[in-house]
Structures are given as C-alpha cells and as structure tokens.
A and B are shown apart, each in its own frame.
Chain A
Amino acid sequence: MATKVLVVDDSAMSRKMMIRALPEGWDVEVSQAANGKEALEAYHAGKAEVMFLDLTMPVMDGYQTLEVLQKEGLDCFVIVVSADVQPEAEARVKKLGAMAFIKKPVNTEKVTEILKEYGIL
C-alpha cells in the first residue's frame, strides 16, 4: 500500500522541490499543507504516515506543530526540512519528537539516506 506522505511548507515552490526530491519508485500518496494548522488537520484525517515539516511558517510554525503532535502521542514519522540551520534548531526539534533534520535546499540523496536509515525505504 502507498505510504501517506504530508509535505508542510508555506512556500509552494518549496513544497514542489520537496516532492521532487522524494526517491523515485517510492510508492507514496502525497498531500500538502501550507502551515502547521493545515498539517494537523491532514494528520488527523490520516494523511500523514511520514511528514516533511518546515519550521518558519505563518499561522502555526513547525515547533508548535511538533508540540501538539507530541502531546497527542506522535503517530507519525516527522522529518524537519528547514532553512534554519542553527545546531540548536536541530536539537530542539529532535527533543520534540522529530526523527531527522534536513537542511534546505533539499536533495534526493539526503532524503533517500534518511528514509533508508530508518527502514522506511
């Protein structure tokens, strides 16, 4: 069965780049969200087994989204994809339950490496 992937970013271009960076041949059903609020709605609707989550977003940012997910008992594999490359940003999101951190701009090699590392691919 196709893996349900949710791509969360306020930039449409950035979502497009992320979707294009998904490994070829990976059987996925992709949904998109433009902020944390939309992401949680999609997550509650069962559209997120794997979530690629941006941090700096209007309405609800990535940190706030992770906090809510953590409180609810995170049932989703979250990979943060961010332009915020402070080491502390990575440490914080991992504390909030994110499994991995990818620096923007994304590339297929890095995404593949992480998915393989965690046995998703």
Chain B
Amino acid sequence: MSISFRTVSHLNEDQRDALAEIVNIGMGQAGAALAQVLGEFVILSVPRIRLVDSQAVPETLAELVGAETTVSAIRQPFHNHLHGEAIVVYDEHGCRDLADIMGHDECTDERVEQELLLDIGNILAGASLKGVAEQLQAEITFSPPSILATHVPVERLLDPEALDWSYSLLIEVNFTLEARRFKGHLLIMLSEDSIDTLVQDIDAFLESL
C-alpha cells in the first residue's frame, strides 16, 4: 500500500494531463450519446482529478457536486484490468428535467424515476469508461447499475466504511443541459490497487505518442 501511495503522490504533470485528456475524450462520447437520447445539447466540463482518502470522500463529493440540494445517484462497479466504481449523481432538477424530457408528467412515480436514473446513468458511465478503456487498450467489464441512494444530502451519499479501499483516485466530470437546469456528475473512483495499473497504462500511452 505504501508503494502505491508513493507512486500516486508522484503522479506527475504529464500523467495528470494525459489522464484528463483521456477522460475528456471518453466523456465526449458519453455526451454525444446523452445528446442523442435526450435530443438536447450537452455542455461538457473540464475533468477534475483528486486523490482521496476514503474518510474524506463525503466532503470531497460535497466540494465537487455542491451541497445545496439533495441528490440521487446510481453506481456501476467495473472490474478486470481496472477496478472501481462509476457513480452518477443527479441533483433534484436533474430528476425532474429527465422526467419532463422523457414525457413523464412528474418525477412522482418512484419506479419510473429509478428507471430513468439507471438508464441515463448507464449511458454516461458506460460510454465514458468504454472511451477511456479503448484509448488505454484495456479491457473493462461492468456490473449492472444499481440505485445508490435517492433524495439524500450529498455528504450522506457514500459511507466511507462501506468502501473497499482506503483511498482512491477520483475523477469528476459533469454534464449540463443547455436549455435546462439539469446537471449530472459522473464520478469515477479507481481503487487503490488499480492506481498503479492506470499509471503504467498512462506511461505506455505517452510513450506510444
């Protein structure tokens, strides 16, 4: 573990830059998929990358997502070459906007709401991670998405005790719909044992340029 930590604390400027760009290309594909499903123009953010101690995950989430509203979220674990969790977080507007776009009256029916969150989350997480894996020539497999929580304060979204690792690499990107208040955050949490693998992949990628 101490070895991993040393490596990561030395994630140098080039590696960080390469990772952000690789994620950027992955999320571009996810944004296009979302735009097609919703028929709306999607605005993409610049990726944010953090190395986070598991105990600090709740406050980091609040910083990245904003703590103003309650949120709902889905999780989709991934494994194989890289292992971690993709989490898609929606604020309250997000849910209502999605229901509206998809032609539902309100976000009142719990089953309908959860289906929407899962479907859209699956598109964002799946397309982004697939795009990242492709560029790194890595194989990633996904577990099916599931509901993490609905209508909770952002600090309560993830219990640090329930995480499988003591620290992780956290990558955040967000998708906004131009004509609405919708905002969805995609968080990719890479487990501590996958961070070394990722760093090696990035080095190989940089060398191939």
- Which residues of chain A (59-95) have a CB below 8 Å from chain B? 82-89
What is the minimal beta-carbon distance from A51 to any residue of chain B, in angstroms? 19
Q: Is the CB of A20 within 8 A of B44?
A: no
Contact A86 B41 (CB under 8 A): yes
Q: Which residues B1-55 have CB closer than 8 A to chain A?
A: 13-14, 17-18, 20-21, 24-25, 27-29, 31-32, 35, 41-42, 44-46
- Let me know if B209 is at the binding interface, CB within 8 A: yes
A108, CB-defined interface residue at 8 Å: no
Whether A85 pairs with B209 at a CB distance below 8 angstroms is no
Residues of A within 8 A of B21 (CB): 11, 13-14, 83
**Nearest Cβ distance between residue A87 and chain B, in whole angstroms?**
8
**Residue of B17, B24, B42 with highest tally of chain A CB at under 10 A:** B24
Known: A11-B21, A16-B209, A104-B25. A56 touches B46 (CB 8 A): yes
B34: nearest chain-A partner, CB-CB: A86
Q: Nearest residue in B to A85 (C-beta to C-beta)?
A: B32
Q: Report the interface size class on chain A.
A: 20 to 34
Please judge, given known A-B contacts A20-B209, A86-B32, whether A56 and B135 are in contact too, CB under 8 Å: no
A27 to nearest B CB, angstroms? 23
Decide if A46 is an interface residue (CB 8 Å cutoff).
no
A96 in the interface (beta carbon within 8 A): no
Q: Is the CB of A10 within 8 A of B46?
A: yes
B18 touching A56, Cβ below 8 Å: no
Q: Shortest Cβ distance from A95 into chain B, in angstroms? A: 13
Q: Which of B13, B14, B28, B209 contacts A83 (CB 8 A)?
A: B28
Given known A-B contacts A11-B17, A12-B17, A58 and B46 have beta carbons under 8 A apart: yes
Q: How far is the CB of B17 from the nearest CB of chain A, in Å? A: 5
Contact A13 B35 (CB under 8 A): no
Complex Cα distance, B131 from A104, in Å, reads 11
Nearest A residue (CB) for B20: A11
Contact residues of A between 2 and 36, Cβ < 8 Å to B:
10-14, 16-17, 20
B56 touches A (CB below 8 Å): no
**Which residues of B pack against A, CB within 8 Å?**
13-14, 17-18, 20-21, 24-25, 27-29, 31-32, 35, 41-42, 44-46, 135, 206, 209
- Apart from A12-B14, A83-B25, what 18 extra A-B contacts exist at CB < 8 Å? A11-B20, A11-B21, A11-B24, A13-B21, A14-B21, A17-B209, A56-B24, A82-B28, A83-B29, A84-B28, A84-B31, A84-B44, A85-B29, A86-B35, A88-B35, A88-B41, A89-B41, A104-B28
Sample (15) of A-B pairs whose CB atoms are under 8 Å apart = A11-B17, A11-B21, A12-B14, A13-B14, A13-B206, A13-B209, A83-B24, A84-B28, A84-B44, A85-B29, A85-B31, A85-B32, A86-B32, A89-B41, A105-B25
